[in-house]
Homo-oligomer: A and B are copies of this chain.
Amino acid sequence: MPLVRIDIRRNPDPSYARKLGNVVYEALRTTFGVPERDNFQILNEHDGDHFVYDPSYLGIARTDGLVYIQLTVSEGRSVEQKKALYKAIAEGLNVEAGVRLEDVFINLVEVKPENWSFGNGVAQYVK
């Protein structure tokens, strides 16, 4: 169910963005209970003119390695689950892809279960 949008500065490795996406998928599996194979992602790379961030907001030192992750998910997760998700994504990106912990920006947009169709024109999550 999550629709994942990842935005980064242009990277010389064309498979880099997908590596980040894999980490996000794994973190969603372990912390949000997302089903296996529920993996849908749109990845974008930008030049510096189009990638804007503050390098110190909240005292966090950010670099061009910043990873924007916007996740549209079904509502219903607890604050504890969200905190666990953020931690799992940041630590996973750090270990698996060398992303600095400070460079992980995450935002969740929550929607109703009925707001998804995964194909065939059907609302699969409506009981």
Contact = CB atoms under 8 A, between A and B. Distances in A.
With most chain B CB atoms within 10 A of its CB, the pick from A4, A89, A118 is A118
Q: For the side of the interface on A, what is the size category?
A: 35 or more
Interface in A67-89: 68, 70, 72, 79, 82-83, 86-89
A39 B57 contact: yes
Identify whether the interface residues of A are mostly helix, strand, loop, or mixed.
mixed
A101 B117 CA distance: 11
B109 A115 contact: yes
Interface of A: 3-4, 7, 14-15, 17-18, 21, 35, 37-47, 49-54, 56-58, 60, 62, 68, 70, 72, 79, 82-83, 86-91, 101-112, 114-124, 126
